[in-house]
Amino acid sequence: MFKKLNILDESDKILRKTSVDAKLPLSQEYKDLIERMITELTYSQIEEYEKKYDLRPGMGLAFPQLGINERIIVIVHEYEDGKFQNYVFVNPKIVSSSNEIIAAEAGEGCLSVNRDVEGHVPRNARVTVEGYDVDGNKIKVRAREELSIAFQHEIDHLNGILFYDRIDKNKPFYSEDEIRLI
């Protein structure tokens, strides 16, 4: 039985707090919550389920968005039509990043921001992220392009940063000459 998650709105103060490291291995309660997050994120990217359950499309969630001030992120990346790769990182850290800066041409959205926010969010084109899986094993991923943006967006949540904080108020949009838009 599918039950929607209660995702906090941007007005909630917990979204502006720096999260604390999660204790490993994760509790069964947290593992169950992560499974629910994966299901909802997957469903939100499949049109039939998105409509059936009235979901907003999203590819990532961080624990603070659910009111839990711990460093855990979940990303469900549709790498090919109808094919998804799940990334669950506990206590993630960006250990290296490219000099090349990109931005999502359409801008970014967030499941905690229930309004359109105009502007490009500059992000590193590639990042290497290290952290732990739910059982406490060390994991590492090299993310590029859209997936790199998702990791940076979700890790920002762990540091109390919302995507629109990174939009330059004086110059919200970039041309293709200034930044690579994807």
Catalytic residue list: 154
For residue 163, the SS3 value is: helix
For the chain, how far is it from start to end, CA to CA, in angstroms? Answer: 37
53 membership: H or E segment, kind and range = none
Q: How does 57-78 read in b/e, with b if 16+ C-beta sit within 10 Å?
A: ebbbbbbbbbebebbbbbbbbb
